[in-house]
Amino acid sequence: MKEYQTKNPYTTEVVDTYTEDSSVEIESKLKKALAIESSWARMEIEDRCELLTNVAELLIERKEEYAALMTQEMGKPYAQGISEIEKCAWACDFYALNADDLLADEIIDTDADESFISHDPLGCILAVMPWNYPFWQVIRFAAPTLTAGNTALLKHAQNVTGCSLAIEQLFLDAGYPEGCFQSLKAGHEEIEKLIANDGIKAVTLTGSEKAGKSIAGTAGKHLKKSVLELGGNNACIVWEDADLDQHINTMVTARMQNTGQSCIAAKRFIVCEDIYDAFLEKFTAKVKSLKSGDPRNEETFIGVMAREDLAEELQKQVNESIKKGAKVILGNMRNGAYYSPTILTDVTIDMPVFIEETFGPVAAITKAKNREEAIALAANSRLGLGSMLFTEDIDAAMNIISNIPDGAFFINDMVKSDPRLPFGGTKASGYGRELSREGILEFVNKKTVYIKK
């Protein structure tokens, strides 16, 4: 059996050593999930919601512990880890309060004496999750999916195995039956075999486009439903009337939070030329003020990237863009897994930092002649997770919403996930939705019931 280690990207010290689950162990965990499946599905929704409330309470009680664990395993700044855990608790509270209504039968008026749509759980759902938000990505899947009456198996990223096991223990400590939520330490081959197993009814993945295509292909081959939340190349559009004094902090946070390692981060800044100079001055000053350093320090905003190879890949994208004419205004320095906050100007549509997802603290800035060109540049992407527009002209902004076919469009705020709103992308950013009513209904059988008396 294969062993692997998790390492602290800031200190480079080994955090822990793990052994991958064998085929037999994975099969045993699946059997345990299937054994509890029917009784869990029959449990009253009120009782499942009560357990979810327990999860929310434990998350708040343990937020310092969990934040420290994320800092240790993937370098998340500690203060941002605290916020992540608090957001997880919010999602749990949302579904605990609203799941009964969200899952209620939908009465339909037909020729029958009674007809309605019921929402039955599908069964065991496999989740493949990334390292960048080790708790949030899992909880936003698990809270609605378990509360709908499904069981879950989690294949988390290897570098956050400690977080994965902590989440499994969290659900057990909250009172969930054994087998309801389990963590797998599995490689890609074992996951492919698991998807093929009749016991798995659907699969969800948050990750790269490459991983999404692989998972979707395997799921499709076996007629399993899949939900994919893949990469993003979000545009931050700044029209000439934007209130920079009010919104510049938001724009910087939209790019630099989580050390830039966010699928919904603002990666391409498309700025109208009339405000370009003022924007660049204020944006650069704010980025310079961000504190870099030890992610354990509560004042640190920019820590290290989760792995050194990720920082190397980001540097390659930046350097290739510089060769094509991009200019470095700030940063572009790397030391191990640390990559300094970087601002590039003169970015054009043929550069990697415009075309590709840059997963780190790099802001690519492109000047647009006017509003129309800014919108056209923003829409020029294979990806479609979200876009944001800053302007005082709300009526004009409302009129161009459909011009950018992304999964989200935010006006005068950064793109962010919210338990009350559906979250997901279009084009190469994936399909399906998480969170809100749409998220809890992704993994249910929408069953037509038709009654004649």
For the segment 80-113, what is each residue's pLDDT rounded down to a tens digit?
999 999 999 999 999 999 999 999 999 999 999 9
Percent of the chain with pLDDT over 90: 99
Rounded to whole angstroms, the Cα distance separating 410 from 92 reads 24
Q: Three-state SS for 55? A: helix
- What does 234-292 look like in DSSP terms, one character per residue? -EEEE-TT--HHHHHHHHHHHHHGGGG--TTS--EEEEEHHHHHHHHHHHHHHHHHSPB
5: three-class secondary structure by DSSP? strand
For 430, residues 6+ apart whose C-beta sits below 8 A from its C-beta are 212, 227, 228, 229, 230, 424
Task: Find the catalytic residue in 84, 168, 229, 356.
Answer: 229
Q: Tell me how far apart the alpha carbons of residues 151 and 450 are, in angstroms, rounded to a whole number.
A: 28
Q: What is the pLDDT of residues 110-145, one digit of tens each?
A: 999 999 999 999 999 999 999 999 999 999 999 999
CA–CA dist 373, 367 (Å, integer): 9
* C-alpha dihedral, 258 to 368 to 381 to 260, nearest 10°: -10
Read off the DSSP letter of residue 402: G
- pLDDT-derived band of residue 54, with 50, 70 and 90 as boundaries? very high
Between 57 and 187, name the one with better pLDDT. Answer: 57
- Looking at residue 386, the DSSP 8-state letter turns out to be -
What does the pLDDT read at residue 352? 98
Give the single-character DSSP code of 369: S
In the structure encoding, which two tokens stand for residue 217, read together?
């292909």
Sign of the CA dihedral running 302, 232, 359, 418: positive
Q: Is the pLDDT of residue 27 over 90?
A: yes
Instruction: Report yes or no on whether pTM surpasses 0.95.
Output: yes
Q: Which residues pair with 229 in a beta bridge?
A: 206, 430
Hey, what domains does the chain have and what are their CATH numbers?
3-230+429-451 (3.40.605.10), 235-418 (3.40.309.10)
Which residues are paired to 206 by β-bridges?
229
Written as one letter, the residue type at 138 is V
CA–CA separation, 56 and 59 (whole Å): 5
Residues 6+ apart with CB under 8 A from 376: none
Residue 424 to residue 157: CA distance in whole angstroms = 20
Element (H, E) at 15: strand 14-19
* Radius of gyration for the alpha carbons in the chain, expressed in angstroms and rounded: 23
In angstroms, the CA 73 to CA 76 distance is 8
10 Å CB burial of residue 259 (0-12, 13-18, 19+) is buried
Residue 316 confidence (pLDDT): 98
Q: Give the mean pLDDT of the chain.
A: 97
pLDDT digits 0-9 by tens, 395-451: 999 999 999 999 999 999 999 999 999 999 999 999 999 999 999 999 999 999 999
44 is a catalytic site residue: no
Q: Across residues 255-268, what is the average pLDDT?
A: 98
> Cβ–Cβ contacts within 10 Å for residue 350, how many?
10
Please state the rounded mean pLDDT for residues 291-318.
Answer: 97
Range name among 7-11, 62-66, 207-211 with the lowest pLDDT average: 207-211
Any idea which residue has 């434990």 for tokens? 58
pLDDT at site 233: 97
Q: From residue 62, how far is each of 56, 177, 286, 364 by CA, in Å?
A: 10, 21, 32, 37
* Residue 176 predicted with pLDDT over 90: yes
Return the HEC string of 141-185: HHHHHHHCCCEEEEEECHHHHHHHHHHHHHHHHCCCCCCCEEEEC
Confidence band for 232, pLDDT divided at 50, 70 and 90: very high
- Structure confidence by residue, pLDDT tens digits, 57-76: 999 999 999 999 999 999 99
Q: How confident is the model at residue 262 (pLDDT cuts 50, 70, 90)?
A: very high
Residues 153-171: pLDDT tens digits? 999 999 999 999 999 999 9
Strands 334-335 and 327-330: unpaired
Residue 217, Cβ neighbours under 10 Å: how many? 12
1 has pLDDT over 90: no
How much is the average pLDDT of 193-209? Answer: 97
